[in-house]
Chain A
Amino acid sequence: DQQVKQNSPSLSVQEGRISILNCDYTNSMFDYFLWYKKYPAEGPTFLISISSIKDKNEDGRFTVFLNKSAKHLSLHIVPSQPGDSAVYFCAASAKTGANNLFFGTGTRLTVIP
């Protein structure tokens, strides 16, 4: 059974608007969460992470929010740019340095110029 779920396979957003990608998890032992971005024919690249001791982490246009009680995290991209079009994967692990990551199935974001 999947422990990390991304229920929206795709999302389309107009350039300049906000993109919100969602992720839910079931394992209460997870305490470190990551977002990866993947372009076609390339491997995933790390984008941003958050530890369970925080509820928000921001890096430029990218912000990740964590709601531990709801076991939910989201990635906000604002303003969205056409170059943000990619597949975004959510991942989780049981501790910050753990290498055993549990991934979601990904959400394909399309930013329309």
Chain B
Amino acid sequence: ETGVTQTPRHLVMGMTNKKSLKCEQHLGHNAMYWYKQSAKKPLELMFVYNFKEQTENNSVPSRFSPECPNSSHLFLHLHTLQPEDSALYLCASSQDSASGGAGQYFGAGTRLSVL
């Protein structure tokens, strides 16, 4: 248990659906991250939030919409996704965005399938 909880663990959605992924951290951290891992591809950073402010958007399509209402919660709102968006979505947190990779704690991920 890393202190970062993601729900749901698995999600199947159609291309016209709207769904949200949730991430919650109980570590008192101030930075939160969304990563995507597609099959046979490396983990890719999508978004970074530091003290609730988005500090990084790695050229992510607008059909992915992040929300960070407070330092403990991070959401990824999904709408009109494509089958190629099927992937494992991982959330991470760190003390702040300058903590570097060693300070990032990951959740177990949400396995998303888009039909």
Which A residues contact B (CB, under 8 angstroms)? Answer: 2, 4, 32, 34, 41-46, 49, 89, 91, 93, 96-106
Known: A99-B48, A104-B42. A42 touches B108 (CB 8 A): yes
Which B residues contact A (CB, under 8 angstroms)? Answer: 2, 4, 31, 33, 40-45, 48, 56, 58, 90, 92, 94, 97-109
Contact A45 B2 (CB under 8 A): yes
B82 CB to nearest A CB, Å = 22
Contact A43 B101 (CB under 8 A): no
Contact B101 A93 (CB under 8 A): yes
Contacts of B107 in A (CB 8 A): 43
Q: Which residue of B lies closest to A104 (CB)?
A: B42
Complex formed: what's the CA distance from A7 to B99 in Å? 28
Known: A49-B101, A93-B100, A99-B33. A43 touches B2 (CB 8 A): yes
Contacts of B31 in A (CB 8 A): 99
Contacts of A105 in B (CB 8 A): 40-42
Contacts of A99 in B (CB 8 A): 31, 33, 45, 48, 56, 94, 97-101, 104
Contact B101 A34 (CB under 8 A): yes
B89 CB to nearest A CB, Å = 11
